[in-house]
Amino acid sequence: MSEITDFDSLRRAMAENSEQPEGPARNARAEQLLVEAEKLDVPLAVIEALGHQLKVYNYSSEKDKMFVPFARLLRLWDERPEDFDEYETHSLHWVFKWMSSGMLDQPHVPLASIEKWLGEMEHRYRLAGHSERAVRSAEFSVAAHVGDVARAERAFEAWLAADRDSMADCHACELHGQGWWQAERGRSAEALEVWGPVLDGEFGCAHEPHTVLASSLVPLLRLGRLEEARGNHLRGFRLVRPMESMRGAYADHVEFCALTGNEARGLELLAERPAYFTDDGHPRSKLDFLSVVVLLMDRLSALGMGEQQVSGPAGRTWTARELAEHARGEALALAGRFDARNGTSYVSERARARMAQEPLVERLPLGVRAARPTAPVAVVPPPPPPEEAAEPDLPALIAEARRRSDTLQPNAVEAWAAVARAAQGVELEARDRAEIADHRAMDLGPEGTELFERAAELYAEAGDPGEALAAHARAAYVRALAGDVDGALAAIVEPYDQVLALYADEGTGVRQTASVLMARARIVMRRVHEAEGPAAESVLAEARGAAREVLALVDGRAGGDVRLTARVAEAQAMLAEIAAHEGDAQTGAELFARAASGFVEAGLPWFAVEYEARLAGLAHHLGDTVQAERALRAALEHGGPHLEAIGRAQLHLQLAEVVGGLGRADEAAEHALEAAHWADEAGEGPTLGAWARQQLGGLLLRLGRFAEAAEVLESALADLSAETHGDGAVVQTQWWLGDCLSELGEHRASAERRLQAAEIARHWPEQHDHATLAHLAAESLGQAGLHTEADQAYARAGHLWHSLGNVHGLVRSLRARAWLALRTEHGLDGARELMTAAVHACVAARDATDDEEARQRLTDELGHTHRQFGDLLARSVAEDAEDGSIQDAFQEGLARLAEAIDVFASLGDGALDSRTGAELAAGWLEADLGHPARAEAHARAVLAAYAAVADADDADGTAVARRAEAEQLLQVVAEQAVE
């Protein structure tokens, strides 16, 4: 955290804090920055710090805190307006709107005070020379909230009629409010029409299209526009998920799940946001959230799942039925407070109507997992304070902690921490104190060395020299974790030698001895990935020996001791690691599978996750995708509620790659979405989350869901960087995004993305991607009507194709430039020159190769070039040109089409469709030139070509279309003859 020494450092700190996630931590930092600003004795510094504090409060769950800094700002303005610069003057007036909506959202603020505030806002805006647009918008919000429809309609019309100025909300926010009112009045189609520019990306801001996407869900369902609803849910939920302040929009997504047969996904959404049940800073969004919780829980009860355990407010477990009752009571009480303030029953009526909705679709598949293969991560309630619940007695706590540690339960460390808290002021036995210190050291990780040594002293005092040596060994191992591998190796020598001697004299048991041997093996394994050259062989041999030593000691002696069973499994995993490092992937996979099975059979499946993930990687490398998929699914299952968010993200991302490689793009997209979510939850959104979003975007593109894909890829690009992810990932994402935008008709934006990717690829040693991207960018520029820029890009691509020896790419770039030339100053002469160059390039390459397959491909390319040359010449003359010039162009075009027909004919049946296409093009030109016999000959040649499939059921679309066009040509020729 940077120190605040002057105004500049304060501004930097506020800018940094603005980039932090919404929530109490960011708010607390803003409060601290205000204190620092007050020390600077710079009035504008205090003003800016107050504005920053007000902003972070507004975009958080603590919106009720906004009023204090605003009141202070307003007082400063009234006393010394000259202290405000232009930006802060604008900001002060801007946040008047926040105060208006903020008061409305707080039921303790009297309606009379809100009305008085509207008058104050109108007065101050008039003094400042602002339009009344923002004031009428605020008045509309008040009237709509209390249910005064007539006043709301009047204010709505006045809002739209007033001039837009610098105080008006951004276009996106205004359109959201306007569309919301249409939807509120039951005009779903009109609402979606209003929202169109935001949904299409024309307008946006920090919270749009987030809220529009959420608000559009039910109107789309009511209109039966299910595909759009699905897409908006997937796009929109990804946007609101990380934003604490968007509880109302989040509620819209929960509602959508309840109304579309996606109750399981709705439960997942609730589980992800336990704080939304209790955050009181924004009562109106809490009411929205609780209302849809009731809707979802009632839906579960109607499906016979009222007794299912669900996530609810922390502090107890909930069934769906219990949570419905609790949420209904809280929601209606909150609605009642609003109604009491407003003097109407409107808010309660709306809340009850929302709770009572019936599903609009029996089941709408979302393209994402409706329920994870493992149970959602449980929200563990905090332990009740002593005055609310009696702690178990100390012996019971010790017994439970010892049971958990002896059976390697994931929460053993926490259990010993509970013992330590309960034992304050109590004199414990040395053994108990040893285990407390030991587990506290485990919790500290690399910083636990001293505590491990203290634990060793206490174990020795308790008469357990073997466990004392094991604690010394753990102290040595954490030194290795801290990076001091050499120091760890030196520190392990004495415990290792002593425990073997002690074990030989029957002075300690297998468990303690195995603990020391395993610590030594772990330390040695730290060197495996660092070893290079001649030293690598000896390091690998030492590591193998250390792992085998553990197996030799423990194997067959574990009995029912899960600790010893775990030692065997871990030692096998070490051998697997060594095998993989040596390039023996098959052995590595077999040993990882054995290690994972050992943990699962011992009742310790959470320890198997890492090794199943490693097994999946090796299986994928060996081409065994079935095994890779099985291992990844097992890892997710076995991790269960103990799997950390980052691990869950990594497993889902690997599974997306494997399943996608098997052609199951829909399922792969589900896993990529899960991966992105869990990466965000783990705080790895800019790193692993960006990878997941990139893969998700590519899968959605493959599925043809271009709008969703574009949204995801744009989100990924915000975090992808060459330094972190490699420039290849940046290029691929830009490439995919360019493809999406092209499909969506946003050709200029597509060109920008493709050119950006090409610029990066320009520096790569291999230039094929650079050439391809330059070519694609040229296509987009041409489609965007930027013909000169497109020609330049095609020229660049052509140069690259030529340097790569790729004749096909060169020829296609020349042909594309020829078409563009007709629209630029180069005209027909330039176009003819470029097409001629393309023909010569094809002929030269074809005649120069001895590869028959390459010759066939080049011949086909030559045929297409002649065909395009003919088409270009035919279209090069304007309809109002002189007959002579039209005749000449058509005749020249016919000559090129004749060349194309001959070239395609030389390729046989493989080029049948291409030949008939050229035949028909020639036939139409002949008809235009007044040569009916020649035109008829071309048409009959096409019919003859497809005679064998004329009545066949398996005739493809091209054959059917060609025959239909030929018949049409014959009809035109016959009509010409009659005329």
Contact 640, 375 (CB under 8 A): yes
Burial letters for 938-947: b for 16+ Cβ neighbours within 10 Å, e otherwise?
Answer: bbebbbebbe
Using alpha carbons, list the distances in angstroms from residue 133 to 126, 129, 371, 701, 755.
11, 12, 46, 41, 41
DSSP state for residue 208 in the 8-state scheme: B
pLDDT of amino acid 280? 87
52: number of CA atoms within 13 Å, CB side?
29
pTM for the whole structure: 0.61
Q: How far apart are CA 713 and CA 733, in angstroms?
A: 6
760: number of CA atoms within 13 Å, CB side?
18
Query: How, if at all, do strands 318-319 and 309-310 pair?
Result: antiparallel
Size (the chain), residues? 979
Closest CA to 176 of 124, 152, 141, 227: 141
pLDDT of amino acid 30? 92
**Average pLDDT by stretches of 10, the chain with 979 residues:** 82 89 86 90 89 84 80 86 87 80 86 88 88 91 93 94 88 92 94 94 87 96 91 83 86 96 89 90 92 96 93 92 96 95 95 96 59 36 46 86 92 93 91 94 92 94 95 95 93 96 94 96 89 82 95 87 93 95 94 94 92 93 93 93 90 94 92 82 85 92 85 83 92 95 89 95 94 96 94 96 96 96 89 96 94 95 96 82 78 94 94 95 92 93 83 70 94 84
pLDDT of amino acid 162? 92
Q: How far apart are CA 14 and CA 25, in angstroms?
A: 13
pLDDT of amino acid 79? 87
- Return the C-alpha torsion angle 936, 938, 939, 942, nearest 10: 150
pLDDT of amino acid 389? 45
Q: How far apart are CA 792 and CA 781, in angstroms?
A: 10
Using alpha carbons, list the distances in angstroms from residue 651 to 237, 611, 629, 712.
22, 12, 10, 20
Among left, alpha and beta (phi > 0; psi -120 to 50; other), residue 508 is: beta
* Terminal CA-CA length for the chain: 89
